[in-house]
Amino acid sequence: MKDSDFQLLVTSVRQAGEIKRGRMKPAAKIEVRPEDVKAIRSKLSKSQSEFALMIGVSVSTLQNWEQGRRQPEGPARALLKVASMNPSAVAAALDTVQEARHTTTETGDSPRR
């Protein structure tokens, strides 16, 4: 992953935390529609369980977002926004399966699960 992409991701997550704590006002309110969440997941070619694990939420939370029963909030919403704009950066930063494969290639060890 390019350092600039990673820095963009880190900055976005930090800003989301500041907004959540009321220390910063959002530049715009982001609405994440259920079909958007599913489209982001599809762009990354992930199953619900793979995507939920990758972004650190339960499968039931992801299903609630995709079915419109709940809305992602705070850092999750920011992460989904970044993922919609640059899915490869999010995948490169958060995909533990990809990271395990990369580590295996470099060290010759088996991937950890």
Number of domains making up the chain: 1
In eight-state DSSP terms, residue 53 is H
Confidence of residue 96 (pLDDT cuts 50, 70, 90): low
In a domain, 92, yes or no: yes
- pLDDT tens per residue, range 3-56: 888 898 889 899 888 988 999 888 776 677 877 899 999 988 999 999 999 888
Please give the share of the chain, as a percent, with pLDDT higher than 70.
82
Question: What pLDDT does residue 63 have?
Answer: 96
In a domain, 112, yes or no: no
In a domain, 68, yes or no: yes
- Parent domain of 87: 3-107
The angle that helices 96-107 and 48-55 make with each other, rounded to 10 degrees, is 80
In a domain, 23, yes or no: yes
The whole-model pTM stands at: 0.58
For residue 104, pLDDT beyond 60: no
In a domain, 43, yes or no: yes
Output the domain CATH number for residue 7.
Answer: 1.10.260.40
Instruction: Please state whether 68 falls in left (phi above 0), alpha (psi between -120 and 50) or beta.
Output: left
In a domain, 113, yes or no: no
